[in-house]
Amino acid sequence: MPQVTIGEDSVYAPLPASVTATHLGFGSWFQTRPRYAQALALLAIGAGLYYLSWRLYSTLPQANPIFFWILFAAELFGFVTFAIHTVEAWSIPPTPRPPVLGVPVDVLITTYNEDVDIVLPTLLGAKLLRGQVTIWLCDDGRREEFKQLAAEYGVQYHTRPDNRDAKAGNINSVLPKLSGELLLVLDADHVPSPDFLEATSGYFADPKIAVIQSAHSFRNHNSVMHSEKGRHEQSMFFDILLPGRNRLKSAFWCGSAALIRRSALQSVGGMATYTSTEDFETSLKLQIAGYEIRYHNEHLIQGLAPDNLESYTIQRFRWAEGYLSSFAKGRRLALSPKLSKSQRLSYIGGVLYYLTPLQRIIYIGLLLSVVLFGVRPFGTLNAQFLPTWGAWALLSLIAGAALDRGVSNPIESIKNSFIIFEACLKAIPALWVKRPMKFHVTPKNEVDLGGWPVLRILAWPLVLYAVTLVALGIRIYDMAIGLREGKPLLPPVQLASIEVGAIFAIFESSVLAVATVKFFRRKQYRSLWRFPVNMNASIKNVPTRAVDLHHRGVGVRVYKAEFPELKLGDSIAMKVECRLLSGQNTWATGRLKVAFVAPDPQDTAILRVGGKVEWENEEGLDAVVEHCYVVEPYLARNRAWSRITPRTPVSLPAKISGQPVRMVDLSPAGAALVGFKGEVRVGDLLPVQVSIDHHQAAVGQLQVRNVSRLDNGQIRVGGLTYWQETDWMQNVLPLVVQPAA
């Protein structure tokens, strides 16, 4: 599939990063050339096998056997990790939407201590889902304002007298009340796309399917997780690993954005409650019972990523502790013989990921032993050592970047391993210690002031690598003394060992230093993410443009000459023009309390004005939420796919603005129609209707992108389409929306 290029100025389209050209140009090149990535991976595996076998027969003699085998085990750990990653990332198969299954669905929005500002968009997004849905607001906080919120929006409210078993217990407590064949679980901040059920429900025509997991996107692109717009630390998992795991049948439920067969969940006793990762544990129980879990590679929700390092590490500690506990003695569900070999291989790969800090501690400990005490983890090292080791090290880095396809690269992977270093170390005892696990809710809507707290979170790797660099400095100084005076103070050491150790320590220390400075300097004062927009607005009845917006605040650009006396604290009338999912536009009216006034950096005649907004009524508030959290990402995704999805020739009777025409081609987000009479301009938004058969017609809107006159005098109109329903396309198009191929 061709790449999608998302411009810097465009609204973010929630797409797999594995098909989107990113700033990691080398990896992105392999998105359309997977065979080259596979060839590099095979070369790297060959180089790794040769290096490890050479190490065994050439460097074991005369080595300290204890230190030799410790180092060899750490190197073998790295090779096995790379090999498993190669298997999982080998290819990304397409995931076309199956025909829609029209069955009742219960939507569960789980919440504990999140603010109304977080839950409101999720609630409204759930109400805009297309399909037979019953929405449940499952409030473990037992808050009166949430009970009122549920009543106001006409959804079911559920609570319980305690918080036993955290989120798992919350879901289990509502299960007896449910009647839908399927249930959609959403975290409090995960706003679903209107077509979520259209994309995922069809899988359940197969009775073996228990869960369909979809990707997690994150709307706050200024989070500590994001490397650039749309690409974040979890992109590797959702855009590379999970699609690959579909081949291995080792995908698992990730807690949210998943559609679940209620009868399957009930058959295994409901949600598992032993660990703090109830989603993974429940997945294992379902797979052991013979059910299958699939991953649908579309970004159909948008949530909130952790804003700062503290929130990020809280989340990762919970994941690490819960995942590792699935391998603890007496349980070990992830190694059950009822699972396939490929499933167990994937799950072992997950364990190795969380054990990576131990590998680094071994490397650093051995390096210190070599540098300061002359320990010999190698025997005699000849001229073959550096080229053999270097070929494996270099090829593994290059192949890793190729397999990651622009989603990540080895340097970012090393950086992320430093961030979760302490969290993983704290979680490792879960492999053998049986203790109650507390469910730590990831904090949301926080600021990030960087500074000294960053150093506390990164303390372990900072101390370890600082000690390593000091030790290398001492050894180099000692070697200089030896050359000058002939009497070094430290025991003799093999030069090649120092060279390899120095390369390793300096490279990783540089990555750590750059990351530390970046996180230390981060300053994010706004707790609620504002969406970049470009929409009609006005303040004091003067037309202008809104440039960022959420349901509690707005930023606009105005001419300085029109507002010479504008000052902080002013309360002024304003309105913005919002687009609804139906395609209609409506104005949301309110009052802006000015909290920011500054010249635009690109034009001194323009002022940037922003602040909090109190909307005049609930309709205006809902319109802003619908526009920002639902319509913008939904339309942006459709526009992006329309650029790479070929139009299918069709011949269907249709109407534009009530005029009879004929639809001549169609794609999931575009169409062309012939036979229109009258004036039409590019940019017009026209009502469109197409007849599927004698009993069914699809209704939507066409945003005109091109107008041409044919030789027979008829007018051909083409553009983007926004349909109220899309499941009818299953009968017209061969495939509807085919993400990452």
Mean pLDDT of 103-116: 96
pLDDT tens for each residue of 707-734: 988 878 889 999 888 887 777 776 776 5
Tokens 């190490």 belong to residue:
55
The answer on pLDDT for 447 being more than 60 is yes
pLDDT tens for each residue of 527-560: 888 999 989 999 999 999 999 999 999 999 999 9
Q: Which two tokens stand for residue 364?
A: 């650093």
pLDDT level of residue 276 (50, 70, 90 thresholds): confident
- Please indicate whether the domains covering 531-639 and 651-731 agree at the CATH topology level: yes
The answer on pLDDT for 128 being more than 90 is yes
Q: What is the 3-state secondary structure (H, E, C) of 107-137?
A: EEEEECCCCHHHHHHHHHHHHCCCCCEEEEE
pLDDT tens for each residue of 352-376: 999 999 999 999 999 999 999 999 9
pLDDT level of residue 438 (50, 70, 90 thresholds): confident
Mean pLDDT of 421-432: 93
pLDDT at 6: 44
**36-66: b (≥16 Cβ within 10 Å) or e:** ebbebbeebbebbeebbeebeebbeeebeee
Mean pLDDT of 281-288: 96
CATH class of the domain comprising 651-731: mainly beta
Contacts 24+ apart (CB under 8 A), 541-544: 541/573
pLDDT tens for each residue of 373-405: 999 998 888 889 999 999 999 999 999 999 999
What is residue 595's three-state secondary structure?
strand
Q: How far is CA 544 from CA 57, 508, 538, 547, in A?
A: 74, 49, 5, 10
pLDDT at 525: 87
* Amino acid (1-letter code) at residue 715: I
Eight-class DSSP state of 193: P
Tokens 């005649």 belong to residue:
605
* Amino acid (1-letter code) at residue 338: K
pLDDT at 404: 96
pLDDT at 734: 57
CATH code for the part of the protein at 531-639? 2.40.10.220
Residue from 340, 187, 197 nearest 278 by CA: 187
Mean pLDDT of 336-345: 95
pLDDT at 434: 75
* Amino acid (1-letter code) at residue 442: T
Q: Which two tokens stand for residue 556?
A: 């606009």
Return the domain boundaries, the chain.
33-89+355-521, 105-305, 531-639, 651-731
pLDDT at 648: 84
Give the least confident one: 92-96, 132-136, 584-588: 92-96
Residue 57 is inside which H or E element, if any? helix 34-59
Whole-number Å distance between alpha carbons of 29 and 608: 38
Tell me the percentage of the chain whose pLDDT exceeds 90. 72
Q: Which two tokens stand for residue 136?
A: 């449940």
pLDDT at 488: 84
What is residue 309's three-state secondary structure?
helix
Whole-number Å distance between alpha carbons of 188 and 147: 15
pLDDT at 644: 67
Tokens 């069955």 belong to residue:
103
pLDDT at 547: 93
Q: Do the beta carbons of residue 292 and residue 250 sit within 8 Å?
A: no
Give the least confident one: 101-110, 280-289, 577-586: 577-586
Angle (CA) 597-598-600 rounded to 5° is: 130
Residue 139 is inside which H or E element, if any? strand 133-139
**Fold assignment, 105-305:** Spore Coat Polysaccharide Biosynthesis Protein SpsA; Chain A (3.90.550)
pLDDT at 739: 41
Residue from 168, 117, 180, 104 nearest 138 by CA: 168
Residues 6 or more apart whose Cβ sits within 8 Å of residue 187? 110, 122, 255, 256, 257, 303
Angle (CA) 449-186-625 rounded to 5° is: 65
Average pLDDT, the chain: 91
pLDDT level of residue 11 (50, 70, 90 thresholds): low
Partner residues linked to 259 by β-bridges: 184, 212
* Amino acid (1-letter code) at residue 312: Y
pLDDT level of residue 7 (50, 70, 90 thresholds): very low
The answer on pLDDT for 106 being more than 90 is yes
pLDDT tens for each residue of 558-591: 999 998 888 999 999 999 999 998 878 999 999 9
Whole-number Å distance between alpha carbons of 344 and 334: 6
Q: Which two tokens stand for residue 497?
A: 């060992």
Residue 166 is inside which H or E element, if any? helix 166-174
Whole-number Å distance between alpha carbons of 40 and 395: 7
Residues 6 or more apart whose Cβ sits within 8 Å of residue 734? 648
Q: Higher model confidence: residue 415 or residue 487? A: 415
pLDDT tens for each residue of 209-244: 999 999 999 999 999 999 999 999 999 999 999 999
Q: Do the beta carbons of residue 558 and residue 572 sit within 8 Å?
A: no
pLDDT level of residue 484 (50, 70, 90 thresholds): confident
pLDDT at 297: 93
pLDDT level of residue 3 (50, 70, 90 thresholds): low
Q: Do the beta carbons of residue 511 and residue 413 sit within 8 Å?
A: no
Q: Do the beta carbons of residue 190 and residue 629 sit within 8 Å?
A: no
Mean pLDDT of 480-485: 86
Other beta carbons within 10 angstroms of residue 379's beta carbon come to 16
Whole-number Å distance between alpha carbons of 487 and 554: 71
Other beta carbons within 10 angstroms of residue 617's beta carbon come to 11
